[in-house]
Amino acid sequence: MNPIKRVAIVGGTHGNELTGIYLVKKFEQLPHLIQRASFASITCLANPKAYEMRKRYVDTDLNRCFKRQDLENPLLSSYEAIRAKTIAQMLLAEESSQNSLIIDLHSTTANMGLTIIPSSLHPFNLNLTAYLQSVNPSVKIYQWERLEQDSSFLRSLSEFGCTIEIGPVAQGILDAPLFQKTEQLIYAILDYVEAYNQGVSFHQKDSLTIYQCVKTIDYPRNESGELDAMIHPQRQFRDYEALSPREPIFLTLEGQAIAYKGKSTVYPVFINEAAYYEKGIAMCLTEKQQISI
């Protein structure tokens, strides 16, 4: 594999997730913080109009606009569809995507702590993630989609890099402790890339635990789409904890518990994420998988 020639730090893919937005602002004011000798660092405020409006998006979720077929489709003309094409050109300009690494900064109202969602399971990313866990043992690794799919996420513009999710944090606020944790993780990534480019190896372990999304489940709803139930009090903020068959997951407005009907233990994440109410996702059920590095 060739050296990484450029690292792009992206914030504000969602306009109301301030952690990434203000980290980008900080790095634009203090660029030496992200400069390293062996590669170029750039920053990108991905959805400035949504940020101005203090909303997740203007017309549609920008982080679902990066399928190759959509980027190549001249008929798509929403603000975010056009923005996605601009971002793709900007992040991939001049050099091939193989030499760029993208860090896309997000936050969640779920209690997911620091979560890495790698852009691919390329050995480079797995070793990088193992390094990040050695720097901060609380870091978890999550995977949304099966990788053979044409991904709609911004991070998929490059094989290298990841999304960083941090939570719990309300939309529209800056939470200093979570800001600082995300910042430290970015520096760790930059240091890793720098060392990698200089031929230093960080092979620390033989396998990684990945939380692989196997299914999403929606809130119980009435025929108008209104919630009939909320996340059960015993499940709120318990992301990454084991959920066994027959344990309660929802509580109806009337006060009745609804149990998990699955047949095996899973590990829910994105529990009660504000932005996913409209997507029909109350939580993502994951399986713990060991992946060899």
Binding footprint of its own copies on the chain (CB under 8 A): 22, 25-26, 29-30, 54, 109, 168-177, 179-180, 226-227, 230-233, 236, 251, 253-254, 272-275, 277-278
Q: Which is nearer to its own copies, 98 or 180 (CB)?
A: 180
Q: Which is nearer to its own copies, 3 or 280 (CB)?
A: 280
Tell the smallest beta-carbon distance from residue 176 to its own copies (Å).
4
Tell the smallest beta-carbon distance from residue 288 to its own copies (Å).
26
Tell the smallest beta-carbon distance from residue 102 to its own copies (Å).
23
Q: Which is nearer to its own copies, 32 or 146 (CB)?
A: 32
Tell the smallest beta-carbon distance from residue 188 to its own copies (Å).
17
Q: Which is nearer to its own copies, 80 or 273 (CB)?
A: 273
Q: Which is nearer to its own copies, 56 or 83 (CB)?
A: 56
Q: Which is nearer to its own copies, 158 or 171 (CB)?
A: 171
Tell the smallest beta-carbon distance from residue 178 to its own copies (Å).
9
Tell the smallest beta-carbon distance from residue 170 to its own copies (Å).
4
Provide DSSP, the chain.
-PPP-EEEEEE-SSTT-HHHHHHHHHHHH-GGGG-BTTBEEEEEES-HHHHHTTSS-SSS-GGG---HHHHT-TT--SHHHHHHHHHHHHHHSSS-GGGEEEEEEEE-SS--EEEEEES---HHHHHHHHHHHHH-TT-EEEE-S-TTS---SGGGGSSEEEEEEEES--TT---HHHHHHHHHHHHHHHHHHHHHHTT------SEEEEEEEEEEEPPPB-TTS-BSEEE-TTTTT-TTS-B-TT-EEEEETTS-EEE---SS-BEEESTT-GGGTTTT-SEEEEEEEEEE-
- Measured CA to CA, the distance from residue 93 to residue 195 in angstroms comes to 24
Q: Which is nearer to its own copies, 99 or 252 (CB)?
A: 252
Q: Contact, 284 vs 114, CB < 8 A?
A: no
Tell the smallest beta-carbon distance from residue 172 to its own copies (Å).
4
